[in-house]
Structure 1
Amino acid sequence: MDSEHQAQLEAEALSRRVLVHDILRRLRGQPNDLLPYSAVSSLRPRGESYKGLQTIEVDKIIGSVDRYGDFDAEFMPKEPFTLDRWTKLRQAQLEGVEFPPIHVYKVGDAYFVKDGNHRTALAKAQGQHYIDAYVIELEVPVDLDPDDTLKDVILKGEYAAFLEQTRLPELRPHHEPILFSRPGRYDVLLDHIRTHQYFMGLDQKRSIGWEEAVADWYDNLYLPTILEIRENGVLKNFPGRTEADLYLWISDHRYFLSQAIGHDVGPEEAALSVQRSVQKGPISRFLDWLGRFFVRQSPQPG
């Protein structure tokens, strides 16, 4: 069989594979898009450095600079002209042509193709484990992983903005990661810190700077709550959620619990209360909530 015919047969098989892959991902509710490099700007890159020629893992290539619309999430060609270009490259490969290295941006532990998209698609389709690439590495405060989706990039972009606004990496270099399972929660966290800053000023009868408030919030509110979550194993009752998700819930729970019993409760008491509530059945939880509601609504002693 000549190289042209073999390449054509392989392209037809690849086309069927791409179709099946697309159907399966749709049925699973999974996105089937290659990540655009433009999304990386949300990670607040601080600079870049040229790393030269390296051998990189093909499976860690997750996006493209300008051809992300031509390939699916597995970097397989999904457009006719893209498949045609892939076929010609495969024919050249069968005829013994050696391809030059591709060019990529490295972001965390993932790569985005700057030049060599079809060569990358060919390597992916052939099950190739490594490929030579000229690498430019971006310095970002929040790293990407090879299995990250666009949703993950959006979340990490919000996290990068939060770290930039709070300067937490400088204030607490070894801080615990603050990760959420859905967008929009870092703004709520910033409101928590501003509220904490306000009450610190009232308690201490002086003006409290932003960085002081951030550090105090982390040391005396966020970190103690996270440690209690871990110690009491609360997170296991919330599959798909994160410690930061639970922190916000416990913070609200702590407020209402404090209102119900008439004094402020600490992170441990609030975390244990959430744990007990989750371990009960729905009727018991509802009755607990109803009881707390009536306690809050009852007139308090003057």
Structure 2
Amino acid sequence: MSQETENDFSKARNKALINELQHILTPEEASMISFKQIRQIIKPQNETYVGMQTIPISKIVGSEGRYKDFDNQFFPKNSFMKERWEHVDEAVIKDIILPPIRVYELGGLYFVRDGNHRVSVAKSKGVEFIDAEIVSLQTEIKLSPVRTLGEMLRQIIVYEKKNFYFETSFGDITDYWNLDFSSPGQYDIIYQHILTHKYFINQGIKKEITMEAAITSWFNTVYMPVIAVIEKYKIMKYIKKRTAGDLYIWLIHCYDELKKKFGDGIPLDIVANDIKQEYKWSLFKKIKNLKNKLLFRRKKK
């Protein structure tokens, strides 16, 4: 390889190292998005072969199989990639026409199936467009280009909330617009809780209740009482970066598991208090460990 390709790889590798150092406390923010993970969350319906197109590199945000080898900006994370990366770089320098990359299109963004090194070299050189063979996965969600998995998940959660509120009229029925979650897929769980609640109500009456009545009943007799217990024991104080909706689902899950083992006579307050004590103790241990580390460093000085 030429000196130029070695220099190019060194620059790209150094950018990956700098990115890693800048996110040393939050390494996930420097990690590339895994197509497999996003596909499992969004659950697209069908695949359609689109064919050859020129696509903007700014919309390539992840990879199917090499997401551990590159960072979220497609800079190489490992030195063992040097030889192959430099071969691609040398071809670009010599104006050798490379085959198109292969990508999945999902929600308006692209994930590399084949050609990760070509994307990496192109990004390092500031190239804006690249030829790609596209397979499109059908979904209604439209995503904006992002660099981190967290940013993409937040987009998905916003989309899920919008759909849930629109399809169920949940906000209009309850006048409650703060049913929020910190991870995708939770609105489907809430919908199943409402359907289950509706089913049990219908067991004792002749005329089936409406979905609106079921939502109102579930909200007033199930959700809000659980939220009241969460607030009573101030659990949110000890569990950061979580929503009341998250804790509702978690508390109900723990409660259902205990009922399977010990029957229906367990008060919800006991479950809530146990969760609070567990996290209170966990927080105490984290603080204690931090103090011990600080004391140890001072002694070494």
Q: Same fold by TM-score, threshold 0.5 exceeded?
A: yes
Match of 1:89 in 2: 88
Match of 1:186 in 2: 187
The superposition leaves residues 48-85 of structure 1 with CA deviations (integer Å, 9 ceiling, x where unpaired) of 11111111110111111111121111111112222321
Q: CA deviation at 1:107?
A: 0.3
Match of 2:5 in 1: 7
Match of 1:43 in 2: 42
Q: CA deviation at 1:207?
A: 2.2
What is the alpha-carbon distance in structure 1 between the residues aligned to residue 104 and residue 147 of structure 2? 16
| CA spacing shift, 1:135–1:158, aligned 2, 3 Å | same
Structure 1 residue ranges without an equivalent (≥5)? 222-240, 250-302
What is the alpha-carbon distance in structure 2 between the residues aligned to residue 193 and residue 132 of structure 1? 47
Paired residues for 1:91-170 under 5 Å:
91-147=90-146, 149-151=148-150
Letter in 2 for 1:14: A
Letter in 2 for 1:106: E
- Asked whether the 8 Å contact 2:47–2:135 carries over to 1, the reply is yes
Report how many aligned residue pairs link the two structures.
221
What is the alpha-carbon distance in structure 2 between the residues aligned to residue 214 and residue 100 of structure 1? 56
What is the alpha-carbon distance in structure 1 between the residues aligned to residue 208 and residue 93 of structure 2? 72
- Asked whether the 8 Å contact 1:107–1:138 carries over to 2, the reply is yes
Superposition RMSD in Å: 4.4
- Asked whether the 8 Å contact 1:58–1:128 carries over to 2, the reply is yes
- Asked whether the 8 Å contact 1:141–1:160 carries over to 2, the reply is no
- Asked whether the 8 Å contact 1:22–1:32 carries over to 2, the reply is yes
- Asked whether the 8 Å contact 2:13–2:78 carries over to 1, the reply is no
Q: CA deviation at 1:197?
A: 2.7
- Asked whether the 8 Å contact 2:33–2:63 carries over to 1, the reply is yes
Match of 2:57 in 1: 58
Paired residues for 1:147-296 under 5 Å:
147=146, 149-151=148-150, 180-182=181-183, 185-186=186-187, 189-190=190-191, 193-194=194-195, 197=198, 201=202, 206-208=207-209, 213=211, 217=215
Q: CA deviation at 1:102?
A: 0.8
Determine what percentage of the aligned residue pairs are the same residue.
Answer: 31
Q: CA deviation at 1:216?
A: 7.4
| CA spacing shift, 1:52–1:191, aligned 2, 3 Å | closer
What is the alpha-carbon distance in structure 1 between the residues aligned to residue 52 and residue 213 of structure 2? 42
What is the alpha-carbon distance in structure 2 between the residues aligned to residue 61 and residue 49 of structure 1? 18
TM-score (norm 1): 0.58
SS at 1:136's partner residue?
Answer: strand
What is the alpha-carbon distance in structure 1 between the residues aligned to residue 57 and residue 213 of structure 2? 41
Letter in 2 for 1:121: S
The superposition leaves residues 153-189 of structure 1 with CA deviations (integer Å, 9 ceiling, x where unpaired) of 667778999999x8x88888xx99x873345743662
The superposition leaves residues 269-301 of structure 1 with CA deviations (integer Å, 9 ceiling, x where unpaired) of xxxxxxxxxxxxxxxxxxxxxxxxxxxxxxxxx
What is the alpha-carbon distance in structure 1 between the residues aligned to residue 168 and residue 190 of structure 2? 17
- Asked whether the 8 Å contact 1:35–1:68 carries over to 2, the reply is yes
What is the alpha-carbon distance in structure 2 between the residues aligned to residue 94 and residue 29 of structure 1? 33
The superposition leaves residues 224-278 of structure 1 with CA deviations (integer Å, 9 ceiling, x where unpaired) of xxxxxxxxxxxxxxxxx9xxx68899xxxxxxxxxxxxxxxxxxxxxxxxxxxxx
What is the alpha-carbon distance in structure 1 between the residues aligned to residue 145 and residue 10 of structure 2? 28
Match of 2:291 in 1: none
Q: CA deviation at 1:191?
A: 5.8
Match of 1:257 in 2: none
Letter in 2 for 1:48: E
TM-score (norm 2): 0.58
Q: CA deviation at 1:135?
A: 1.0
- Asked whether the 8 Å contact 2:182–2:246 carries over to 1, the reply is no
